[in-house]
Amino acid sequence: MAPVKPIEIRGRTVAGGAQPLICTPLVGRTRGAVLDELAAVMPKKPDLIEWRIDFFEAIADTGLVIDLARALKAGAGDAPILLTCRSSREGGERIPLADTGVVALLEAACAAGCIDLIDYELSNAAPDLRRLRAVSREHGVAMIMSYHNFQSTPDAAALVAKFTAAAGEGADIAKVAVMPRGPRDVLTLLEATLTASETLQIPLISMSMGAVGSLSRMFGWVYGSAVTFAVGKASSAPGQIPIDELRAVLAQVRRAVTGG
């Protein structure tokens, strides 16, 4: 199997190094809706919780975002909180903040000590990416640098280049999410993930989206993807599988693939 690198936050390995970690997104529009999602999701024991703040209607109010992040942290038990403001250019919601506003918000969240990871796209302006890298590191917040393509799957070399670029920018974790046009594109994503996992030292996250891409959510970890995203209450990307179903398949796949 591919050498999956465990994800560490402040020196602690998340979920004891489980392979893969299961991450559940929260996509509510209001404080109440997000807290309801957390309450619905926690009994399903996700390893990681991603709050997609581009869905949050009060995103322009930094105080409200940080208050809610604190509430999530308090309610999430051992599961780290990943804060993501997915750019509308890469599949996120449209938000009333310019890029500078997003950077300021993520900086404030890092400084407030209420989150464990942030996700920021590689396609952002280099000065913003580097500033957030420095600020997140200063506050012990892990940084995912990501690439999304909702139209197609670039070739394996191009995908490896994205993982490599993230590592080159000092990412703690590199993420690639792409849309397949058929089952062959899922193989391309897995091949690229395996190649990157053999050459890079940081943990990787990858997935092929949509219905056929859901294969990668079930067996991408065999090719080096450290995290798989699953639906808790509502999905944040096409092809996500309900967490209970995903966990059952992962257990079977793990048993078969490890021969145990």
Residues with a known catalytic role: 148, 175
Amino acid occupying residue 24: T
181 belongs to the binding site for a copy of itself (CB under 8 A): no
Query: Looking at beta carbons only, is 4 or 141 nearer to a copy of itself?
Result: 4
Does residue number 249 form part of the binding site for a copy of itself (CB under 8 A)?
yes
**By C-beta, is 80 or 239 nearer to a copy of itself?**
239
In whole angstroms, the minimum distance from the beta carbon of 239 to a copy of itself comes to 7
Looking at 72, 223, 226, 227, which residue binds a copy of itself (CB under 8 A)? 223
Tell me the one-letter amino acid at 115.
I
Cis peptide bond N-terminal to 154, omega within 30: no
Number of other CB atoms surrounding residue 179 within 10 Å:
20
* Measured distance CA(138)–CA(7) in Å, rounded: 18
Q: Does 215 bind a copy of itself (CB under 8 A)?
A: yes
Question: Does 138 help bind a copy of itself (rule: CB under 8 A)?
Answer: no
| Both structure tokens of 2 | 């591919």
Regarding 140 and contact with a copy of itself (CB under 8 A), the answer is: no
Computed from CA positions of residues 122, 128, 133, 137, in that sequence, does the dihedral angle turn out positive or negative?
negative
CA distances from 47 to 53, 135, 183, 241 (A): 19, 25, 28, 15
Instruction: Summarize as ranges the residues that interact with a copy of itself (CB under 8 A).
Output: 1-2, 182-184, 187, 190-191, 194, 210-212, 214-215, 217-219, 222-223, 239, 241, 245, 248-249, 252-253, 255-259
